[in-house]
Amino acid sequence: MAKLIRYPRGGVAQVVDNQWQILPVDTQEPLGSGSYLVPFQYWLDHSSSKEIQAKYLAGELGVWFASDADLTTHRDVILAGMKFWAIIAVDFPIFRDGRGFSHAALLRERLGWQGELRAIGDVLIDQLLKMAKVGFDSFLLRADQNESVALEQFELIHHRLQNDWRASRDQLGRGSHVK
């Protein structure tokens, strides 16, 4: 089973059980029992179905965005959908594809997503701090990644020299802002 790291804003990073099944992009089959992350296009095609409505009313439905998704084109649909989704995920199809970082910033800063934002796909340990900085608060690690080493990443840097989603810079412990 893939390893899930949760790092909530203001909290501590920890390994937790993953309760969410990820529906592949081309699937049109009905959902089974349990919680599902469905592709955004699946949401567009099935959001009015009774099955999907039952899932989101039970808090068992989230949406994931592909790296090539155009979030600005679907802004209004995404804003409306945020009322129903328990979680949003962004796929990193390959570790060197950085478009997911932009998606996270858009979802947090422009669209105001306050819920869980998960990185899925080819998620590597050396990306975790950068992902956390732009707004991700959970990370489904690639199967070959070591969760103990992953947790250590969050303890490496204690002082922020740039603002990020989690906190303002602290100027090496001299307060939040230098005047």
Domain spans, the chain: 4-26+33-153
- CATH classification for the domain delimited by 4-26+33-153, as one of 3.30.920, 3.30.2310, 3.30.930, 3.40.50: 3.40.50
Predicted confidence (pLDDT) at residue 169 exceeds the cutoff of 60: no
Among candidate residues 108, 19, 111, the one with its CA nearest the CA of residue 61:
19
C-alpha 127: how far from its chain's center?
13
List pLDDT tens digits, range 42-101.
999 999 999 999 999 999 999 999 999 999 999 999 999 999 999 999 999 998 899 999
Q: What percent of the chain has pLDDT over 90?
A: 74
Position 171 confidence tier, pLDDT thresholds 50, 70, 90: very low
Arithmetic mean of pLDDT, 163-177: 52
Q: Are residues 123 and 136 in contact, defined by beta-carbon separation less than 8 angstroms?
A: no
Alpha helices in 47-89 (DSSP H): 50-57, 75-81
List pLDDT tens digits, range 88-123.
999 999 988 999 999 999 999 999 999 999 999 999
Query: What pLDDT, on the 0 to 100 scale, is given for residue 174?
Result: 47
Q: What is the DSSP string of 124-148?
A: -GGGHHHHHHHT--EEE--TTS-HH
List Cβ neighbours of 156 (8 Å cut-off, separation of 6 or more). 129
